Amino acid sequence: MNVLTHPIAFYLLGLPVRSTVVMTWILMVVIVLLVLLIKKTNPAILETIIEFILNIVGDVLNVDNLYPYLSLLGSLFIFLISANLLSLLPGLTSPTADLNTTIALSLIVFFSVHYFGMLKKGVWGYLKTVADPIFLLPLEVIGQISRSVALALRLFGNIMSGDLIVAIIFSIVPLIVPLPLITLSMVTGVVQAYIFITLATLYIASAVEISQADEDGRKTRKKLFRRKEVTNGKS
């Protein structure tokens, strides 16, 4: 039984290409064709989808202009929802049931967080705010790595376990009994896509926003240092 690895579909220039990669390509083509079709026939649906994603992102991210972040987060959301629900179709497997896909997605989020932070505050200005007292740098590095790993493992574990449970129940009782579990895995897929986007937005917000507490903290710290210098000079 293959749970953690997927079968190799074919070899491309000597490199093995797994079946989930082929599923991702199918999904990309389907999404692009679907969007082009909707754009030609009924553009109002696209507007509704964009409004929905803007609502999700705007709940967490407090910036004036949301549109620079929309291209990344919106495409992640659409891709994740359709990828999580792809295993409903017989013969297809979810690309996100493969650990490689989710690690790639969380790496994209990891690098884009720093990219947006540097874009907003400048390279040096961002690096200064990453670890404010410099001795907290190791903790910050550990936090960055562990949250990226958790982001990948959460998505993979949820989708894979949903598919696995449905497969096990299906092998025992193939009729009607798997239906509630399929519903549960559908709900899990949508909720996990939502959570992935919310967490990615949260990480971007923590890199982009200059919080009032930070500013106040820096000012009071400077004041304290100054007072200490004054008292040292007096004594």
Partner 1 sequence: MENLEPGTLVTIVTILVTGIGVAIGMIVPSLMEGHAAVKALESIARQPDAANQIRTTMIIAMALIETSNIYVLLVMLVLLFANPLVTRFFGG
Binding stretches for partner 1 (CB under 8 A): 1-4, 59-60, 150, 153-154, 157-158, 161, 191-192, 194-195, 198-199, 202
Closest contact distance (angstroms) between CB of 66 and partner 1 is 16
Closest contact distance (angstroms) between CB of 2 and partner 1 is 8
Whichever of 2 and 231 has its CB closer to partner 1, that residue is 2
DSSP character at residue 210: -
Closest contact distance (angstroms) between CB of 52 and partner 1 is 14
Whichever of 87 and 102 has its CB closer to partner 1, that residue is 102
- C-alpha–C-alpha distance, residues 223 and 234, integer Å: 16
Whichever of 22 and 60 has its CB closer to partner 1, that residue is 60
Cβ–Cβ contacts within 10 Å for residue 65, how many? 7
Bridge partners (DSSP) of residue 8 are 18
Whichever of 170 and 194 has its CB closer to partner 1, that residue is 194
Closest contact distance (angstroms) between CB of 59 and partner 1 is 6
Whichever of 69 and 156 has its CB closer to partner 1, that residue is 156
Q: Does an H or E element contain 8, and which?
A: strand 8-12
Whichever of 84 and 126 has its CB closer to partner 1, that residue is 84
The amino acid that residue 60 corresponds to is V
Closest contact distance (angstroms) between CB of 94 and partner 1 is 16
Cβ-contact 99, 152 below 8 angstroms = yes
Nearest to 177 by CA among 185, 189, 169: 169
Task: Name the 3-class secondary structure at 65.
Answer: coil
Whichever of 123 and 150 has its CB closer to partner 1, that residue is 150
The amino acid that residue 34 corresponds to is L
Cβ-contact 58, 42 below 8 angstroms = no
Residues listed for the chain: 235
Cβ-contact 126, 117 below 8 angstroms = yes
- C-alpha–C-alpha distance, residues 3 and 164, integer Å: 8
Handedness of CA 107, 108, 109, 111 (dihedral sign): positive
Closest contact distance (angstroms) between CB of 200 and partner 1 is 12
Closest contact distance (angstroms) between CB of 201 and partner 1 is 10
